[in-house]
Amino acid sequence: MLKLKRMRVILTILFIFLPLSFSQAEGLTDQQARDYRKKGYRLQSRGDLGGALSFYQKAVGLNSDYVQAHNDLGVIYEMQGQLDEAEKYYQKALKINPDFMPAHANLALLYEKKNDIRKATYHWKKRYLKGKKGDYWQEVARQHLLKLGTYPQVRKEMMEEKAANLSKELVYQREQKRLEIIEEAKLHFKLGQRAFEERDYKTATEELGKVISLKSSDLELQEKAKKIMEKSKDFYLKQSALVDIKDALECIKDNNYFSAADKLKNALDSVFRITQEEISQKR
């Protein structure tokens, strides 16, 4: 029983410290790969291509995703005249990182050596499009595309791509605006519906009128707002007529006949508008 407890304690300690050990080992491996690459670059600078090749191979052996070291191997093989091997390592670099621009430039130059205009153009185009105005390598790419006779075509494709992106952006902006209008219409509809339920017909009519004036693409919402607004307007006019008549009677009691006449006139106007609405709905 005591042995079993000890085993459990040991296993618990291992589970705690093993991930940390692996993480530290991985960090040391990456650092060692970087150190190998630095040594390889120093030897390459001195013209020792064989020694550089050995260290670059050690670097990718420790870190198979080391994109710069794969590209370096391609450079060494190309300098040794092994173009197919160089191409393989440049492609490996791009497989790890498709936007690694040095590998695109190296492949473009390599394909020029192989007289493969189509592939050279493809990689110079990638390098050109990723560059910024005034960027040295963008200008190099442009000069090579001119030499290959493919720059006008690339520039046309670039303009077409920009136009397509602009069109997408405009479509996106329109869609965002459409959604914003729908949300605004929904808000006014909610306010109008609540006011209608609370018998505040004046506010209800105003809010629902805003829904209709926004002309959102939500046709169902528009139709609902129209129906409730018609009822709200009708109730509001009746309410106004009753208030005006009540006020007119009060004015008559106070011998204020001029004000009473104005109130009755307003009440009659409301009644007339209700009548007109009913006639137009029957048509």
Q: What CATH number does residue 135 fall under?
A: 1.25.40.10
Residue 241 has pLDDT above 80, yes or no: no
Distances (CA, A) of 237 to 82, 241, 249: 93, 6, 18
Q: Are residues 38 and 146 in the same domain?
A: yes
Domain membership flag for residue 176: yes
User: Which tens digits make up the pLDDT trace of 52-104?
Assistant: 999 999 999 999 999 999 999 999 999 999 999 999 999 999 999 999 999 99
> In this predicted model, what pLDDT tens digit does every residue of 242-259 receive, in sequence order?
777 887 788 888 788 777
141 and 196 part of one domain: no
Considering the domain architecture, whether residues 196 and 274 belong to the same structural domain is answered as yes
The last residue of one of the domains, among 99, 127, 150, is 150
Return the SS3 of 151.
Answer: helix
Contact 232/208 with Cβ under 8 angstroms? Answer: yes
Asked whether residue 143 falls in the same domain as residue 195, the answer is no
Please give the pLDDT value at position 20: 42
Determine, yes or no, domain membership for 189. yes
Q: Give the span between the Cα atoms of 74 and 200, in whole angstroms.
A: 79
Separation in Å, CA 273 to CA 203, 213, 233, 276: 19, 21, 10, 5
Which pTM value belongs to this model?
A: 0.50
Shared domain for 136 and 173, answered yes or no, is no
Domain extent at residue 68: 30-150
Q: Is position 94 within any domain?
A: yes
Same domain, 37 and 113: yes
Please determine, for residue 25, whether its predicted confidence score (pLDDT) is greater than 80: no
In a domain, 195, yes or no: yes
Q: How confident is the model at residue 22 (pLDDT cuts 50, 70, 90)?
A: very low
**171 and 130 housed in the same domain:** no
**Helix 136-148, helix 117-130: angle, nearest 10:** 150
- Given a cut of 60, whether residue 39 has pLDDT beyond it is yes
Q: Are residues 141 and 186 in the same domain?
A: no
Residue 82 half-sphere exposure toward CB, CA atoms < 13 A = 13
- Judged against a pLDDT cut of 80, whether residue 266 lies above it is answered with no
High-pLDDT (> 90) share of the chain, % = 32
Number of domains in the chain: 2
Contact 103, 122 (CB under 8 A): no
> In terms of domains, do 174 and 273 share one?
yes
